[in-house]
A = this chain, B = another copy of it.
């Protein structure tokens, strides 16, 4: 990993300073940067496992809600239903989850973890816990609860909206 340099330091020699004060005072710009940093950190935490962040989210959700449907998963994770198909495919191919045709209603597949899936999830959760501990060390003033409270207050009531990032 290269040493971290600021935008100003990396900027070409033509001019020395860059005034980003306007955007840096906006929640939108700050939250984008924060999300990039947090996801990059999770990405590193899962390095070598071959498990992506969405796949981890699916595993964790299925563990606490065995037998839920793909549509429910998509809704819970704010992902479009069609995208769940290749995600579950990958988990099934690696032997971590299975689709069980529902007895009660043949349109549904009940998603469940295999024993291997449960074992892998435990390992991933340990990695994730280390990541989050490291992350919260950055927040020496604000507590973890306070941080989550602010984030959820920002997210409140809007998580189901559709939009295009630009």
B contact residues around A139 at 8 Å (CB): 150, 153-154
A12 at the interface (CB under 8 A from B): yes
Beta-carbon contact of B57 and A152 below 8 Å: no
CB-contact partner of A35 in B32, B65, B161, under 8 A: B32
Contacts of A126 in B (CB 8 A): none
Known interface pairs A64-B19, A132-B26. Does A36 touch B69 (Cβ–Cβ under 8 Å)? no
Min Cβ gap A138→B in Å is 5
List B contacts of A149 (CB < 8 A). 141-142
Contacting residues of chain A (55-87) with chain B, CB-CB under 8 angstroms? 55, 57, 60-61, 63-65, 67-69, 71-72, 75-76, 78
Q: Are B156 and A53 in contact (CB under 8 A)?
A: no
Q: In the complex, which residues of chain B have a beta carbon less than 8 angstroms from the beta carbon of A156?
A: 37, 138
Which of B28, B30, B72, B155 meets A152, CB within 8 Å? B30
B69 and A132 form a contact (CB under 8 A): no
Q: Is the CB of B154 within 8 A of A138?
A: yes
A128 CB to closest chain B CB (Å) equals: 7
Q: Does A4 contact B (CB under 8 A)?
A: yes
Q: Which of A38-46, A91-99, A111-119 contacts B (4 or more CB under 8 A)?
A: A38-46
A79 to chain B: closest residue by CB: B166
Q: List 7 A-B contacts (CB under 8 A).
A: A4-B158, A10-B75, A20-B64, A21-B64, A30-B155, A32-B35, A40-B161
